Structure 1
Amino acid sequence: MKNKIDYYLPIIIKFVLGLLVFILQINLTGKGNLAPSTALDAVQNYVLGGIIGGVIYNENITILQFVMVLIVWTIIVLTLKFFKDHNRFIRNIIDGQPVTLIKNGKIRVEECLKHGISANDLMFKLRNKGIYEVAKVKSGILEQNGQLTVIEFSDKDHVRYPLISDGQLMLMYWNLLTKMKNG
């Protein structure tokens, strides 16, 4: 009986610690990690899951070593989030920018190729929005999370982008709106 306790107790402790750190990271970085909207959110979840999953069953890694790895990863994530939230240049590197793939009913092939979107992928995204003809699309914007925002020619409500975020003018959105307005 003692052997089983000696074997399972560190696994249980590591699992509980990993779960607590995961919950802590979600609460500190925002609920976006529950449904990742940026590459950083997804990477954070994958790496933390890999750390927890790869370590809890490894008897050679002590609980203290596991805690140190969790602390280092949490510091890295929080540091990246801080710089992303306070520096537009870093935000653009980490999250990217929205890209117009369809403009005035015409597919911008160069942009699709540049961002790895095949014709099948684009049409799939349009069909998911209930659109079966590219000619009906005034603007198709590939968002940072891979979703396609579609503005049809008949749409009364247009997509709204924040022109000011965290006290800074968002030039990428200003330029995007200017391009859309000028046709």
Structure 2
Amino acid sequence: MTYYYTLVIIKFIIGFTIVITHMNFSGKTQLSQMTPIDFIGNFVLGGIIGGVIYSDTIPLHQYVILLFMGVMFISLLNFLTKKFNFFRSVTIGNTIPIIKNGQFIMENIQEKRNKIDMLNITSRIHAQGVYSFQEIYYAQIEPDGQLTIICDKKNMPSVILIKDGVIRTSELEAIERDEDWLKQQIEKHGINNITDIFLAEFWHGEVSFILQDGKIKRVDEQKLKVVAENS
């Protein structure tokens, strides 16, 4: 019996160590940082640990291999969601605008897969200190389920058009622009390669580019450059 309980403790320590190490390496040590992939993956890892820890039929080395396979699979899915918009939209989701220019976007609200409960939305806007839909200029549901509400159109949130050199076409469509327009903006800012762009942020009708080295290309800089060249 002593051997059995010792083995259980060893399995528990190994499982706990692998999961905590994975969370630290991925930078997902808090619940607010976790994606749906992380939540599901942690359930899977917990199932492996819970299913094996009290069993003496599965050798210790197979238990460790199973845990590493689970960790690698979660890491692969997270990598794909960062690099490919398709995987991100499927696994994490996109923002869902429900009010724009003071008008309800009924196709988004009535889309069955969005599962939007307007009575729940009503309670949530009241909790944010907004007491009528008539006050709202723009509203969207974030991928994590949070609700963003804008009452003054001057305070519209920014939109990320490029992430790590990859164009986010759904966000371009949301601001009613196309890839040709975005490429023109890239050329105007003197950026030679789209892979040099870490983030492209659209705000107040203008685009700012944050490069991979941390430098920022803003519209104001471009205007000053034009003035300097013409003077």
TM-score category of the 2 structures, normalised to the smaller one: 0.7 to 0.9
Pairing 1:1-183 to 2, within 5 Å after superposition: 3=1, 5-31=2-28, 34-114=31-111, 115-152=114-151, 154=152, 156-178=154-176
Higher helix share: 1
| 1:33 Cα deviation from its structure 2 partner | 5.7
Say which structure, 1 or 2, has more relative contact order (CA 8 Å, 6+ apart).
1
| 1:158 Cα deviation from its structure 2 partner | 2.8
**Which of structures 1 and 2 has the bigger CA Rg?**
2
Q: How many residues are aligned here?
A: 177
Root-mean-square deviation (Å): 2.5
Instruction: State the distance in 1 between where 2:4 and 2:27 align.
Output: 35
Give the alignment's TM-score, normalised by structure 1.
0.82
Give the alignment's TM-score, normalised by structure 2.
0.67
| 1:28 Cα deviation from its structure 2 partner | 2.8
1:136–1:37 Cα change, 3 Å: farther
Percent of pairs with identical residues: 31
Instruction: State the distance in 2 between where 1:58 and 1:65 align.
Output: 12
| 1:133 Cα deviation from its structure 2 partner | 0.9
| 1:132 Cα deviation from its structure 2 partner | 2.1
SS of corresponding position for 1:149: strand
Q: Which string of whole-angstrom CA distances, capped at 9 and with x for unpartnered residues, describes residues 58-93 of structure 1?
A: 333332221111011111112112222222222222
Structure 2's unaligned 5+ residue stretches are: 178-203, 206-231
| 1:32 Cα deviation from its structure 2 partner | 6.5
Q: Which string of whole-angstrom CA distances, capped at 9 and with x for unpartnered residues, describes residues 141-169 of structure 1?
A: 111111111112x3643312322211122
1:178–1:25 Cα change, 3 Å: same
